[in-house]
């Protein structure tokens, strides 16, 4: 391949005057009265297309160029020149143009060069990356994902591929998808008539993971600094703009660390990601700020430039109660904070991201570390203006006797957690970790409100199309 990307051409590489070849898809075409065709050509490498200036004199002008429509794929050869028009740095004086792929029935091609609703675009998810909106989302999502790996790698973390299929049911099987190779029309039965899962692929009931955390802890207690970044699953019926049945989650876990170390990590990671996006996707972010969410850029800059606040859950409840605000969900000590509470705290009360710490034990998971007050656990949520909770995590209970007490209190069977308990029996250490959902993060960064529009092929209730 000796062709150039649109991104490099718009950056003046190779230099002006070079003979170049470019290949991509036609976004728009217009013809001047003088008979010159102007084609905006896109190849996905950056937000802007490059303009091809196609003179009438080309041998295939009448036969082909006049018939080119949006969506056609073409190869164009010519000279890179400074653009005389506005809005672009360089354009191409075309000396040869070839249509690689035509568009069947241009009038019915779904990706007409106009604004489409996001609902319509979901119906053509295989074609929507060809739009400005989804193209920009795709590049930002990639930028965020690359930044995550780069951040952890540069800081000495090991990426651990925790399992997707799990036979343990640690956070409640009600929300989990079953994985099976049984023939449902001919289920094997035990003597007593129950389904005989011993004949299923894994020899027992198995499910899709809801979190890699427990497995990750095992590696944390050997490698010290680890993370996982992979798909996770919830069989929830929630039909909201914030829920997907399949989504990607980033989960770091650090040894010899407490909840303060964890908050520092969350702050550092988020700021690193935001800086990468603003630097590497400046063109896409300008589009989001112009067309989707006015504050898309400024709110990231604001976060980068301010320290995260810290607030005890008990103080947060006090602030909410004294706020004089009417909340839909009433506030009292012991409740789980709702998005309206979270947004009030970070947007109105504090005006920047805040880490709320030390939540009541009764609303949190068994593995979170018990505080000395015996009422709260060392959990933390990062709340950000404009979204509410963006990160949730905790210090883990590293003391075997306290963990066992919590398991018993929550009526969980010790035997089901024997390997997890081993981690507390053999060289246990204070450790902590959090979860950051990729889709909510990309939704927040871009201002694209529905998480279905920031993942290539969304899986939700009644929808696994494509």
Contacting a second copy within 392-451 (CB under 8 A) = 398, 419-420, 422-430, 438
User: Residues for the chain: how many in total?
Assistant: 466
User: Pick from 236, 213, 237, 239: which is nearest to 226 by CA?
Assistant: 213
Contacting a second copy within 18-47 (CB under 8 A) = 23-26, 43-45
Between 203 and 334, name the residue whose CB sits nearer to a second copy: 203
CB 353 within 8 A of CB 383: yes
The one among 233, 274, 287, 359 contacting a second copy by CB under 8 A = 233
Give the position of tokens 């649109």: 6
User: Pick from 281, 177, 176, 152: which is nearest to 228 by CA?
Assistant: 152
The one among 120, 327, 333, 466 contacting a second copy by CB under 8 A = 466
Give strand pairing partners of 42: 25
Contacting a second copy within 261-320 (CB under 8 A) = 261
User: What is d(CA 140, CA 135) in angstroms, rounded to the nearest whole number?
Assistant: 9
101 lies in the binding site for a second copy (CB under 8 A) = yes
Q: Is 427 left (phi over 0), alpha (psi -120 to 50) or beta?
A: left
Give the tokens for residue 8.
Answer: 């490099």
11 lies in the binding site for a second copy (CB under 8 A) = no
Between 144 and 316, name the residue whose CB sits nearer to a second copy: 144
Among the residue ranges 98-106, 314-322, 382-390, 444-452, the one whose residues contact a second copy (CB under 8 A): 98-106
Binding mask 149-178 for a second copy (x = CB under 8 A): xx--x--x-xxxxxxxxxxx--------xx
Among the residue ranges 123-131, 301-309, 348-356, 373-381, the one whose residues contact a second copy (CB under 8 A): 123-131
Between 208 and 383, name the residue whose CB sits nearer to a second copy: 208
The conformation of residue 157, written as its DSSP 8-state character, comes to: P
Residue 274 CA from chain centroid, whole number: 13
201 lies in the binding site for a second copy (CB under 8 A) = yes
CB 351 within 8 A of CB 305: no
Q: Measured between alpha carbons, how far apart are the two ends of the chain, in Å?
A: 30
Among the residue ranges 10-18, 88-96, 196-204, 349-357, the one whose residues contact a second copy (CB under 8 A): 196-204
Between 148 and 317, name the residue whose CB sits nearer to a second copy: 148
Give the tokens for residue 55.
Answer: 């003179």
Between 327 and 419, name the residue whose CB sits nearer to a second copy: 419
Among the residue ranges 9-17, 29-37, 139-147, 402-410, the one whose residues contact a second copy (CB under 8 A): 139-147
Q: Quick one: 227 exposed, middle or buried, by C-beta within 10 A (0-12, 13-18, 19+)?
A: buried
User: Pick from 65, 67, 131: which is nearest to 98 by CA?
Assistant: 65
Between 25 and 313, name the residue whose CB sits nearer to a second copy: 25
Q: Shortest Cβ distance from residue 179 to a second copy (Å)?
A: 5
The one among 32, 93, 142, 238 contacting a second copy by CB under 8 A = 142
């Amino acid at each position: 391949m000796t062709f150039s990307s649109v991104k490099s051409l718009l950056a003046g590489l190779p230099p002006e005057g070079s003979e170049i070849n470019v290949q991509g898809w036609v976004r728009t075409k217009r013809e001047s009265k003088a008979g010159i065709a102007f084609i905006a050509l896109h190849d996905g490498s950056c937000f802007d297309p490059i303009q091809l200036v196609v003179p009438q004199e080309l041998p295939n002008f009448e036969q082909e160029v006049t018939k080119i429509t949006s969506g056609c794929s073409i190869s164009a050869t010519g000279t890179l020149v400074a653009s005389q028009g506005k809005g672009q740095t360089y354009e191409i004086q075309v000396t040869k143009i070839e249509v690689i792929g035509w568009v069947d029935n241009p009038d019915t091609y779904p990706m007409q060069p106009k604004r489409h609703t996001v609902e319509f675009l979901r119906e053509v998810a295989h074609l929507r990356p060809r739009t400005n909106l989804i193209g920009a989302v795709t590049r930002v999502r990639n930028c965020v994902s690359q930044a995550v790996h780069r951040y952890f790698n540069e800081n000495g973390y090991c990426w651990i591929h925790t399992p997707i299929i799990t036979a343990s049911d640690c956070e409640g099987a009600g929300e989990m998808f079953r994985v099976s190779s049984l023939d449902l029309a001919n289920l094997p039965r035990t003597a007593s008539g129950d389904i005989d899962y011993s004949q299923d692929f894994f020899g027992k009931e198995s499910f899709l993971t809801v979190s890699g955390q427990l497995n990750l802890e095992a590696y944390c207690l050997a490698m010290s600094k680890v993370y996982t970044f992979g798909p996770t699953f919830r069989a929830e019926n929630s039909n909201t703009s914030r829920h997907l049945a399949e989504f990607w989650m980033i989960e770091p876990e650090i040894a010899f660390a407490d909840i303060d170390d964890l908050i520092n990590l969350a702050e550092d990671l988020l700021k690193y990601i935001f800086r990468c996006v603003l630097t590497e996707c400046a063109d896409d972010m300008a589009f989001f700020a112009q067309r989707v969410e006015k504050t898309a850029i400024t709110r990231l800059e604001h976060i980068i430039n301010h320290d995260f606040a810290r607030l005890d859950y008990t103080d947060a409840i006090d602030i909410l109660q004294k706020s004089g605000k009417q909340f839909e969900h009433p506030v009292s000590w012991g409740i789980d904070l709702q998005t309206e509470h979270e947004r009030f705290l970070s947007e109105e009360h504090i005006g920047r991201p805040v880490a709320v710490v030390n939540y009541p034990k009764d609303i949190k998971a068994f593995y979170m570390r018990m505080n000395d007050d015996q009422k709260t656990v060392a959990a933390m949520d990062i709340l950000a203006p404009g979204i509410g909770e963006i990160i949730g995590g905790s210090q883990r209970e590293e003391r075997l006797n306290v963990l066992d007490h919590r398991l018993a209190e929550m009526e969980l069977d010790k035997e089901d957690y024997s390997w997890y308990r081993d981690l507390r029996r053999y060289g246990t250490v204070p450790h902590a970790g959090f979860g950051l959902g990729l889709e909510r993060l990309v939704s927040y960064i871009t201002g694209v409100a529905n998480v279905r529009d920031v993942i290539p092929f969304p899986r939700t209730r009644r929808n696994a199309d494509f």
